[in-house]
Chain A
């Protein structure tokens, strides 16, 4: 045997030896919607999990924006090629849970796979959004955030406001915005991204005022919108008044307008706590965040905020062995130290109580109080019927309807009352349509 053929044989043997465990490995597809630094987090998590054991291999794939990823998952399910794990934004929760057989509830998955799983270990403000009325967890929280008020400390100094005592109530915000406007911020005193999240969804929870019956849809798809109530009307009327001289200036339906804060154009902006990375990288001024403002006359306000972000749904119709791998991966994600690391490095909220306690005890928030603001909001009070979350089928479309009506009020086409009534009425039509197609 020549040395050359010996080499060939040993190479072949090596290849076979290397390939054998790869064949036995069960692949788990994970479709997600995260870009940039957040995409790196996903890839790193998958790599760490794959290195930690040999049986399963998690394969992450980026599928576009949140709505794109949801649509890709839906289309793949219809074609019989759904991934095992699909990341869905909180707005898609109603759509996901309504389809019987399309998803595998997480509590069932963990039980069947025999993984240790205690739903009480997770922060209730987060899991409440993704659980049934009975408290059964349907999807695994992944990247959660909430809405906070970001403000420009330098602008506050310029306007003679105390940068360490941000406004707490809406009337205080209006006063501050007027002063900021007088100090040169004449295009935009305050604003918000995610128009309906700020002015309907979070607003209702934070003031303990219902958006709809049946605990905002958590207790059933026969929920009826009813947020055309006095406090909402008061808030919308204020916004419409202040829009006239740009003390408030509308910044669009999504987070496209967030650049108006980091560029220094708008000194106060309500948006997601997930805006942190962007602010840190791009704001060339001294900044901070604070809890969302509230109306002091509302009894019990501030209540607690609700979450945004996304969770991981397990798709239906897969093999038991694959589900076992998914369950192991979820246990891996919930590990305390891993959660601590994710939270402190990426700014996502920790999903377990133990992880939150550990970060708190370490004194991390003393230097970085802005990372605790959303957690303090979420845990401000025991959630009520009006602040556990919301679950409307077809919420993506309903949000568009709500945005249209808010815009019609702000540009003077409709009175605030007419717009609010139309938002409720048209939203209810969409809900009734959805109710007929929901199979559970």
Chain B
């Protein structure tokens, strides 16, 4: 997981925007970013400095949660006033899209102009002919059906797809009439996979850091809900207590563990399983991954009733905070971009969602170096299983452990899916009854949340550090955790669309 040049630019923009918002000179200085981040003599990623700055303007608008094309000082003013445009979590920056080639099928040098000419024979549109001793595809006639590729005995015809298209398991990215990529929001579930994949950084999520900084500055009680994947995000040497300490130094009122919400979810979900499967339904799926939940709604609505009605750990944790302090501003901090979309469904509970990357940018903007923070006390009150939610397999383990304790008679046959293609595939199989399973753990990101698009550390490393952190927990499973039990009953999912 190397930090690419486009990632660096995005992070620099976020850090600069945070710094200016914290120092109170955002409107005056916002335009400076155009010259500090893309300097005249800096390395070039695009044709010229003007093009780079045009892209940068889009990026700054995203960082301010304003529509693309808003003049920068106006955008800064609106962000400072707390305004957030009604944008999807994941957006395409049109200036940045390089319109990667979309000639899907390409005849390579491996073509031997054989006698069989299976390609010509199989093409339903007669789009293939022989030109200069080699098959040639007439692009004006080609309908990209792929018959030629499948029929060539030499494998001489290859399929090329754009990185963004390839990354999107739900085929939500298409080429627009000007060949730029377009996100079809009827299909998109805001998982953020395309953002990670585009080598031009043309896809980005909106960011509310300025609005959040204003809220903190205004003296509100701002609570951080920290997702368990935070372990190791600032490097393997940085201790969890240092991260918690640094969040406090940013001006947050307190830091709560999403893992405790996960404990409550494990209890609720295990209870739901024992009650409903197999009496009322053949199987149950998890509901903690918002990209998965949205995928079911948009792509396999028939399976909707099989999704657990339990809220996500984020929402569970938020409910607890709001009950304790109704005036609280609640900020989820995690690895996930889809949570930004999920949060909009719960406007009364979640005020902001930050990725770990955005949190780090805020630290840098505030001049905070986590590595040098004196570690305060941070004692986890979550169970081992609750912390384990952050990695693939974690929810299964938590629900299995809980079912074993609370409903020992119930028979749980788990199946796991990672990545949306896998989720869709497994779910269809379960719908058809062709899998011997009655519980599906579905995660949109490979590796689970630790592999999310908002992370800064290698998912394998995070998973290992998480394991160690979880092993140190006071209790193993949710039913043993008195802190979790107290919250359990509040966590039914709201059935709103969005």
A and B from one assembly? no
Residues of chain B whose beta carbon lies under 8 Å from any beta carbon of chain A: none
